[in-house]
Amino acid sequence: MLAYRHAFHAGNHADVLKHVVLLAVLEYLDTKPAGWRCIDTHAGAGGYSLEGTYAQKKAEYADGIGRLVGRDDLPGPVAALVRQVQAFNDGKGLRQYPGSPALAHACQREQDQLRLYEMHPTEHKILHSYLGDEPGVQVHLGDGFGAIKAQLPHATRRAVLLIDPPYELKTDYARTLAAVREALERMPETIVIVWLPQLQLLEAAQLPQRLKAAAEAGARKGWLHARLTVAPPLERGFGLLGSSVFVANPPHTLFATLQPVLPWLAQALAQFDGARSALEKSGKA
């Protein structure tokens, strides 16, 4: 949706969860020499000013990454994200937050590839100026949902597909499910990472179960689902209560990596006494 700007939400609790998982996956892939391809369907601008008008409107980062920087008791995967954030700021406070493209680029080796898609012309322009000339990176102005046929299968059979739409249109739920099915049909070993909003909305409640069914049918290594609930239900039913990340074909280490991290994050990012986490996986994962 061309009205959506991620800068309003940069660095919030949802970004923290999504990026902890993304870094854990890419760092696992980096343990083996074969190259990987990371396809980001909704790449955004690549990085965001936390001092700008958008980020300051609700200052969501203050209850997200802002609660983590400066702590000395961070679990390993959270510490890895904080290190990347600090590097993105050149070690000078918390002025900017790296988006998924910046974090993936930080993990990228000479043999790896980034394929970044963004529909918003302004976001694309910023992203292209930042990463468009980097080796192994392609930045596309277009609909990332339509990129799967062009990008999969990948020659090394090692690929990560990150799907993170704004979900401001209800059609995003159906298109996300269709994209997961298409990716697994084209390359069943694709690691598919899907960010999901936790909302008081039927489509949001149904999508995790539908993704599990799609992964059971098409993924070679099952699925994993990590959830954080940080805010209480609202009387009128609007607002982000938390979020989750669904992973098809998760690395075999990912469940054990996240198991101690999610309860810690639930407490660190809690906005009410009922904050909680959940982590589940299929028998194959």
> Which segments of 100-247 does DSSP mark as H helices, in order?
100-107, 121-131, 148-151, 171-186, 202-218
CA distance 171 to 154: 28
Cα-Cα-Cα-Cα dihedral sign, residues 84, 86, 87, 88: positive
Contact present, 235 and 190 (Cβ < 8 Å): no
Q: What are phi and psi of 195, to 5 degrees?
A: -85, 140
CA distance 52 to 134: 26
Going by C-alpha positions, the residue among 259, 249, 258 that lies closest to residue 284 is 249
As annotated, the active-site residues are 164
Q: What are phi and psi of 136, to 5 degrees?
A: 80, 5
